[in-house]
Amino acid sequence: MPRPLPVDLGGLALRSPIVVASGCAGTGKEVGPLLEPAGVGALVSRSITLAPRIGSAGPRVAETPSGLLWSVGLQNPGVAAFVEEELPRLVRTGVPVIVSVTGGSLEEFVAVTSRVHVAPGVVAIEAHLDRPDEELDRPSFCARPERAAEVAGAVARMSRLPVFAKLPCLLPDLGDAARSCVRAGVHGLTVAGGLPAMGVDAERGRPALGSVAGWLSGPAIRPVALRAVFDVARAVPGVPLMGGGGVTTGPEAAELLLAGAWAVQVGTATLVDPGAPARIAEGVAAYLGAHGVSSPADLRGGLRTGDGP
């Protein structure tokens, strides 16, 4: 049995600070025991919309140095089929399930949330806000802090479960967006996700991805995620914060905890090795042991900066 490493995200108790990031947990029937559920704090489902989406054309993935370039286009079966078929399977994996909800309008976010927050086995909602705002015709709900807060707040008011507003690492004023979402009533924040990116296949004179524009994940983005988590933790101290970006080992997860995360999301590493989240959790336990720290929470924001000891 892995050593338990409980963390408390403002009343949401997880047995481990390591969470499988959205889009990397499958549909509950893929990897089975290879995920080593006992070592994982929670998994975040793929992002769910109201209607089914077939997603973007391939190729959807390309390897880059220390990174994974990808664009899936939010392929998902729609909330009705998700709640009916996929969610029960995710719940049966034995890992607490956080459902990622998204939409092109405020109304869609709320409608998806209304179907998900009462479904058995769900422990929290993550509102995936960094996607096109079709209502206001903007590239992202996160383009303006007040819009991100408006949508996140509406999801939070609808949901009986804790809601985490997911913000991207790259925003002109990430701290402001975080504060706005917290004022609007969200329980916590997630700062994670790929950075906008693309690839070119010069040999064929074509984009590397079928959708042309995509996202970069993996170890290449870890310093960017650290900075974003650090900024948000300072902007909204005391607010539960999940951070993620390129973590593949226990000490790297500890870096994010030191920067201010309460829990760490692991995405790309899970794709390379379904056992990575559990292994990283063990690595965190070993790190804590080696540094005489009893709980992941004791690391939180413990970065010694400036003239500290």
Partner 1 sequence: MKRARAEVLSVRRLGAYHAITLVAPEIAERARPGQFISVAVPPGRAYLLRRPFWVHAASRRGGWAGTFEFAFDVRGPGTAWLARRPSHTSLDVIGPLGRAFAYPRRLRTCLLVGEGHGAAALQFLAEELRARGRRVDMLIGGATLEEVFKPIEAKRLSTNLAIVTRDGSLGDRGRVIDVLEERAARWGTEVVYAAGPRDVLRGVARFCRERRIPAQVALEERMGCGTGLCFGCAVPVARTDGTGFDHLRACVEGPVFNAARIVWDRWGGTEDAPAAPLSAG
Binding marks (x or -) toward partner 1, 236..265, rule CB under 8 A? Answer: ------------x-----------------
Which lies closer to partner 1 via its Cβ, residue 194 or residue 296? 194
CA 219 – CA 170 distance, rounded (Å)? 16
When asked if residue 268 is in the footprint of partner 1 (CB under 8 A), the reply is: yes
Beta bridge partners of 42: 19
DSSP for 96-162, please give it: -EEEEE--SSHHHHHHHHHHHTTSTTEEEEEEE--S-BTTTTBS-GGGSHHHHHHHHHHHHHH-SS-
When asked if residue 55 is in the footprint of partner 1 (CB under 8 A), the reply is: yes
Task: Name residues contacting partner 1, limited to 23-52 (CB under 8 A).
Answer: 23-27, 29-32, 34, 46
Query: Are 173 and 180 a contacting pair, CB within 8 Å?
Result: no
The CB-of-58 to partner 1 minimum distance in angstroms stands at 4
When asked if residue 205 is in the footprint of partner 1 (CB under 8 A), the reply is: no
The CB-of-226 to partner 1 minimum distance in angstroms stands at 16
The CB-of-80 to partner 1 minimum distance in angstroms stands at 16
When asked if residue 204 is in the footprint of partner 1 (CB under 8 A), the reply is: yes
Q: Which of 162, 244, 274, 296 binds partner 1 (CB under 8 A)?
A: 274
Residue carrying structure tokens 């870096």? 255
| C-alpha Rg value of the chain to the nearest Å | 18
Which lies closer to partner 1 via its Cβ, residue 8 or residue 273? 273
CA 189 – CA 182 distance, rounded (Å)? 8
When asked if residue 61 is in the footprint of partner 1 (CB under 8 A), the reply is: yes
- Number of residues interacting with partner 1: please give it, by CB under 8 A: 40
When asked if residue 67 is in the footprint of partner 1 (CB under 8 A), the reply is: yes
When asked if residue 218 is in the footprint of partner 1 (CB under 8 A), the reply is: yes
The order of strands in the sheet holding 67-70 is 61-64, 67-70, 213-217, 195-198
- Residue 251 phi, psi dihedral angles, 5° rounding: -60, -35
Q: How far is CA 70 from CA 21, 73, 118, in A?
A: 14, 9, 32
Which lies closer to partner 1 via its Cβ, residue 204 or residue 304? 204
Residues forming the site for partner 1 (CB under 8 A) = 23-27, 29-32, 34, 46, 54-63, 65-68, 70, 72, 75, 204, 210, 218-219, 248, 268, 270-275
